[in-house]
Amino acid sequence: MQRMGMVIGLEPDKVVDYKALHAAVWPEILSLISACNITNYSIFLKEPENLLFGYWEYVGDDFEADMAKMAADPANQEWWAVCMPCQKPLVNRKEGEWWAMMPEVFHLD
């Protein structure tokens, strides 16, 4: 199992919309997340800075393949089309990232 954290900005005028979307995530998206070996997925919002922090645990053995499966799913492409305009990627994220991935520096079970 691999714990993964990521961060992205949230457009100030989209906070209410983003919260509403995530209060009622489409069932097919929830199923896809599980099918792609992601568990314990949470998103936190820090206001007024409007930073989103995402956390999940990856329990599969081929992260790249699972992420490709997720990206190729038509329902997920629709979900992203709704969510991505709400998000504001960090300017200093790595090339190819939307959410900026964060290395784990501490964990306690």
pLDDT category, 20, cuts 50, 70, 90? Answer: very high
Positive or negative, the CA dihedral 73, 45, 25, 34 is positive
Q: What three-state secondary structure class fits 75? A: helix
Catalytic residues: 22
Q: Render pLDDT for 46-84 as a digit per residue (tens, 0 to 9).
A: 999 999 999 999 999 999 999 999 999 999 999 999 999
Residue 70, pLDDT score:
97
Residue type, 74: P
Q: Is the pTM of this model over 0.75?
A: yes
User: What is d(CA 78, CA 82) in angstroms, rounded to the nearest whole number?
Assistant: 7
- Rounded to the nearest integer, the mean pLDDT of the chain is 97
**Torsion angles phi and psi, residue 26, rounded to 5:** -60, 135
| Distance separating the N- and C-terminal Cα atoms of the chain | 13
Give the domains, in start order, of the chain with CATH numbers.
2-102 (3.30.70.1090)
